[in-house]
Chain A
Amino acid sequence: MNPDYRLYHPKWHRRRIPIFWWLGKRSYIRFIARELTSVFVAYCAVLLLLQTWMLGRGEAAYARFSEWLASPPLVGFHLLTLLAVVFHTVTWLGLAPTALVISVRGRRVPSRAVLLAHYAAWAVASGVVAWALLGGS
């Protein structure tokens, strides 16, 4: 008889969750990867703030900053960041139709339509930003 057991008292067992619980299933790995890419999204925000701050410190400071940005290791890291952020965006947009369920005149708007609308909005926003940055008249 197990000395820890007391008669008529249910002795429940809870397993210890392994630290790398998410390595057990492909869907969990994808989930964690998706969540980790938000670090890169945060990095982009920080980068933008840095750029703004450097602009405020004058042309010389900004020029040094731009030079640093152009260095090969940073370019490589930023390529990785771009991939991560695109992955994040695509997975985020992919989840939008699940949350946004709309009915128009009694019929449900299909998920594909909602998704495409989001992609369209992304394209338009990117287009506007690109036009602004690349010297639109």
Chain B
Amino acid sequence: MDTVSYDVLLVGGGGAGLRAAIAVSESDPSLRVGVVSKVYPMRSHTVSAEGGAAAVIKPDDSLEAHAYDTISGGDWLCDQDAVEAFVQEAPDEMMRLEHWGCPWSREPDGRVAVRAFGGMKIKRTWFAADKTGFHMLHALFQTSLKYRPIARHDEWFVTKLLVDDGRCHGAVAIELASGKVYALLAKVVILCTGGCGKVFPFTTNANIKTGDGMALAYRAGAPLKDMEFVQYHPTGLPFTGILITEATRSEGGWLLNRDGYRYLQDYDLGTPSPMPVLRSMELGPRDRLSQAFVKEMEKGRTVETPYGHVVHLDIRHLGEKLIDTRLPFVRELCLKYEHLDPVRELVPVRPVVHYMMGGVHTDPDARTPLEGLSAAGEVACVSINGANRLGSNSLTELLVFGARAGRAAAADAAMAKDIPGAVLAQGLDEERRLTREYLSKTGGRERVADVRREMQQAMEAGAGIYRDAAGLRAAADTIEELRERFRDIALDDRSRTFNTELVACLELSYMLDTAEAIIHSALARTESRGAHQRTDYPDRNDGRFLAHTLARRSDGGPPRVEYVPVTVTRWPPGERVYGR
């Protein structure tokens, strides 16, 4: 089998992957760095992020304030040592990106401008109009082109991590254009594959967010942490699920129920005022806002549309000039996908699955318990986001932990031993398995799309914003049944040339794994915290659950769940207070 060897291999070429690749190359230009991605880097989902990236630079701000906002926002499930490192390194990372050409929006004197964001007491969110992720990704991608040691394998799909004797030695990947299977050998593998929003039916996420890296790590024996914490972003467009950035609210937008009433005031989020007040009302944390929507819907005060219940986002009072300067993309999206102009009309919005706080368990240097395997970005759970992520922390997370992962990998690669030959045999087995189980298999009766749709529906029903034991168990049973039915899928497409049905099928298998981890983690956590709300256990229970859920794969059964305590340094658990 053909092999390609690297010192460090990045799986995923988005914000975290590119930042990590650059960090490896800057740490040690002699190291061979490979970036393998199932899409071209500029297609990575980082590109869709809109609102901004947080880092302390203004004189009225402090690292302590950023840390406290993050930790309280995460309902005290964040590892405080990791958060302290994160807020400390964030300003330098963001400044570095500015030097690399990122077109940050500016103040009149030419300094970088910052805006307010949900859950933050002080304005610290850097932004590039409302296409921050787009500009960050393109700046990173274009800068990465300067580094000759970085080699890319665009549109190669990774199907398995190569693990031998408790160590990761690389990955098996299909070159999509030819169908050829390669073994990519590396001393260190860094997963930067993003989250798994597509396990739900209604998500802001792109088609490519299928939990690939999470499942790869899970199957290789690394644990997935805090998978039950799924973030619903409060404002997604109905039907498409397209993201309407939190910046609409930080610039002063209001959320209105069907009576035109700013309903968030009924949910302990403060009292309404014409100008936005930080950490209050519409600038509360995302989990509380999404939960308020559900409660409002139960009271019958949301607006019913052919695409489900919505509330209204009102940004008319911001004025056309502000909207065109700071929210132009939002205006474009509303015009195109909702046929309405937010300058003059109310925008229908509803909570939509957006981000996975959970992911592959890592330490603050992005290392997983599996030697030779690291992870950074949404795929990882350090954890700095805890039970609920604050908006604009994740774009910064890509830079800080991408860089940390790269530097740590460069150090590890220098000391790594040679790659054992047994790994190649694994690669050949995987190649044969792909042919046997997918391309040559006959007689199946299921279609990828049907199994996928039923998985998504089960997840929405059982693992939504509010959960209970019965609902979760029903979902668990459905997922188990769907795993059986998955084995009965027959592909229409047997070709080797750019077989996207094969890719969709493999992605579905990854999604079923992550769905299983989410459900069982949610079943085990019998408390409510942040984005994980149990109607049968409505209170937060620090006594038992000031701990991270670790889900480990077990053959032929539900995952083994155990707990590891949260690291508390300076901020003992307290009450999450917003609006007062």
Which residues of A line the B interface, CB within 8 A?
Answer: 7-11
Contacts and interface: CB of A to CB of B under 8 A. Distances in A.
Interface residues of B, number: 6
B497 interface: yes
Contacts of A7: 496
10 contacts: A7-B496, A8-B178, A8-B179, A8-B180, A8-B496, A9-B178, A10-B177, A10-B178, A10-B497, A11-B497
A9 B180 CA distance: 9
What are the 9 tightest A-B residue pairs by CB atom distance, in nearest-first order? Answer: A8-B180, A10-B177, A8-B178, A10-B178, A8-B179, A9-B178, A10-B497, A8-B496, A7-B496
A75 B532 CA distance: 87
A8 B178 CA distance: 5
B476 to A, nearest CB: 41
B498 to A, nearest CB: 8
Interface of B: 177-180, 496-497
A5 to B, nearest CB: 9
A12 to B, nearest CB: 9
Given A8-B496, A11-B497, 8 more contacts: A7-B496, A8-B178, A8-B179, A8-B180, A9-B178, A10-B177, A10-B178, A10-B497
A11 B496 CA distance: 11
Contacts of A11: 497
B261 to A, nearest CB: 44
Nearest to A11: B497
Contacts of B177: 10
A11 to B, nearest CB: 8
Nearest to B176: A10
Contacts of B178: 8-10
Nearest to B497: A10
A8 B1 CA distance: 13
A10 B175 CA distance: 10
Contacts of A8: 178-180, 496
A10 B496 CA distance: 9
A10 B177 CA distance: 6
A8 B177 CA distance: 8
A95 to B, nearest CB: 28
A24 B179 CA distance: 36
B502 to A, nearest CB: 15
Contacts of A10: 177-178, 497
A6 to B, nearest CB: 10
B153 to A, nearest CB: 14
Nearest to A9: B178
Contacts of B497: 10-11
Nearest to B2: A8
Contacts of B180: 8
Contacts of B179: 8
A8 B497 CA distance: 8
A7 B178 CA distance: 8
Contacts of B496: 7-8
A8 B499 CA distance: 12
A99 B148 CA distance: 35
Nearest to A5: B497
A1 to B, nearest CB: 10
B157 to A, nearest CB: 15
A9 B179 CA distance: 9
A37 to B, nearest CB: 38
A10 B497 CA distance: 7
B229 to A, nearest CB: 42
A10 B179 CA distance: 9
B71 to A, nearest CB: 45
Contacts of A9: 178
Nearest to B178: A8
Nearest to A6: B178
A44 B179 CA distance: 60
A29 to B, nearest CB: 30
A9 B497 CA distance: 9
B565 to A, nearest CB: 50
B58 to A, nearest CB: 27
A14 to B, nearest CB: 15
A8 B496 CA distance: 7
A10 to B, nearest CB: 5
B471 to A, nearest CB: 47
B3 to A, nearest CB: 15
A106 to B, nearest CB: 12
A7 B435 CA distance: 14
A10 B180 CA distance: 10
Q: Among the interface residues A9, A10, A11, which one has the most CB atoms of the partner chain B within 10 A?
A: A10
A11 B497 CA distance: 9
Determine which residue in A8, A9, A11 has the highest number of CB atoms from chain B within 10 A of its CB, and name it. A8
A8 to B, nearest CB: 4
A7 B180 CA distance: 9
A7 B179 CA distance: 9
A33 to B, nearest CB: 34
A6 B180 CA distance: 12
A8 B174 CA distance: 11
A107 to B, nearest CB: 16
A11 B498 CA distance: 11
A11 B178 CA distance: 9
A11 B495 CA distance: 13
A6 B497 CA distance: 11
A44 to B, nearest CB: 47
Nearest to B175: A8
A85 to B, nearest CB: 42
Nearest to A12: B177
B182 to A, nearest CB: 10
A31 B27 CA distance: 52
A87 B121 CA distance: 63
A48 B428 CA distance: 77
Nearest to B179: A8
